[in-house]
Structure 1
Amino acid sequence: MKQFHAIVIGATGAVGRFLVSQLLENSRIKSVTIFVRKNIISENKKLIVHKIDFSNISEHSDKIVGDVLFSAMGTTLKDAGSRKKQYLVDYTYQYNFAKIALKNGVKNYSLVSSVGANSKSLFFYPKIKGDLENDIANLSFERIQIFRPASLIRPLDLLRKNEKILINFLIFFNKLGLLQSLKPLRVEDLAKFMIDKVFEDNTNKLTFYDLKEIVKR
């Protein structure tokens, strides 16, 4: 049984932290290398931590090696402070990292995107996601898998007040059979789905997974 060396960026975020924990528990994963802005201390021997400045990713290019890259970075306009800074996190850092990973021989790429991603959107957030999807799709990875969840149910300690309100609103209408395309998804379920797809036989170079594909399992 082949074992994979996994790379994760966005490892401290809602989806990323579950990706890391589940990858570490998976017997088919030999090592997990994460790149973070703040140092993390762990005694798990499978985990390799690199603290880096994402604005100078090229300085750390020799460390970006493995079989599969999970890209789960993301922020909000409020947290970023400006559209320019949000674009850096949601597009620039991830795209630049992907290019280096490809150059270093990484063959598989998995991206957390978003429902409604569209480079032609008049709205800023879906446009960023669409821009990244398009440019990643043009890279020559052997396999690219792009996941488009809608609202994500994060652990309670990470949920913002407005997110709790939105999720409760969507759950209520989902029970009535409405707004199914926006059905909330637990972050741990998304992480598991992403990892399962890495090991699945799939000869397609590019595959998109919308919410209906993720939740129908």
Structure 2
Amino acid sequence: MKALLIGATGATGKDLLHLLLADDTFSRVDVFVRRSLSVQHEKLHVHVIDFDAVEQWQELVTGDVLFCSLGTTLKVAGSKEAQWKIDYDYQYNFAKAARANNVPKLVLVSAALASATSIFFYNKMKGQLEEAIQALDFPRLSIFNPPALIRKDSDRPGEALAIKITKWFNKIGLLTKQRPLPTEILAQALLHASLNQNEGFHRYAGEEIWKYAGK
């Protein structure tokens, strides 16, 4: 199988890339990034691209499964418009190119509270992306709505605080469905989803992700 990945430099993407390169099911892994990677592997093919120049890379989006784990924060992006471009436009454009090139499966990392009708910008953006990608009608589509993610060497103080609070509630038996999820566990679940040959749309959230990863 040939895997396609956007978001390879993020926490989840790094873990997923490691798994893909180690899995013999995949004979080739193509990643699309803005800057070159330090990772080297005989089956890794790195495409350094301008995400805005769709016409320059759209024909390269061919394979058996596209993983979309691209994303940023409002703080890093600098504005809602810039975050929308990365979290929505870039992922949708890749999904659209993959569908046009007959890639049969897409695995998308979304957000726990994604909803196209949310009053919150981030959740609404993620929900609208989900709906737009579902409308592309992939033969096999898996969407993951993970809870707060535990990232290695995270520099996101707000996220770290949310994880601490949720873990405290977990200790007293509350919010167990929102147990913080290490990115390596999410990556394992994403890999398993890519190997599932069942047709149609599948959604995974909360404890379902832990179980799907075999944990």
| TM bin (shorter chain) | over 0.9
Task: Please list every run of 5 or more consecutive structure 1 residues that lacks an aligned counterpart in the other structure.
Answer: none
Tell me the residue number matched to 2:201. 206
- CA offset at residue 43 of structure 1? 3.0
The answer to whether the 8 A contact 1:71-1:110 is kept is yes
Matched, 1:169 2:168: no
Residue 8 of structure 1, aligned match among 2, 5, 8: 5
Aligned AA (2:110): S
Q: Is the 8 A contact 1:58 1:100 kept in 2?
A: no
Structure 2 matches for 1:137-176, cutoff 5 A? 137-155=134-152, 157-176=153-172
- Cα deviation for residue 128 of structure 1 reads 0.4
- Cα RMSD of the aligned pairs, angstroms, is 1.2
Candidates 72, 82, 102, aligned match of 1:75:
72
Among residues 105, 109, 128, which one is paired with 2:106 in the alignment? 109
Once the two structures are TM-superposed, the CA of residue 198 in structure 1 deviates from its matched residue by 1.7
User: Is this contact kept in 2: 1:19–1:192, CA < 8 A?
Assistant: yes
Structure 1 segments of 4+ aligned residues over 4 angstroms from their partners: none
Does residue 133 (structure 1) correspond to residue 126 (structure 2)? The answer is no
> C-alpha deviations, 1:110-160, integer Å up to 9, x for none?
0000111000001000000000000101112110000000100000x2342
TM-score by length of 1: 0.94
In structure 2, distance between residues paired with 1:90 and 1:108: 19
Residue 48 of structure 1 corresponds to 45
Describe the SS at the equivalent of 1:7. strand
- Whole-Å separation in 2 of the counterparts to 1:60 and 1:178: 46
- Output the TM-score relative to the length of structure 2: 0.95
1:186, 1:41 → 2: CA distance?
Answer: 23
Q: Secondary structure at the match of 2:174?
A: coil
Shift of 1:213: 1.0
Structure 2 residue matching 1:173: 3-state secondary structure:
helix
Count of matched residue positions in the alignment of Structure 1 and Structure 2: 212
SS at match of 2:30: strand
Paired residues of 2:107 and 2:193 also in contact (CA < 8 A) = no
Matches within 5 A, 1:16-55: 16-55=13-52
Query: What CA distance in whole angstroms lies between the structure 2 residues aligned with 1:161 and 1:147?
Result: 23
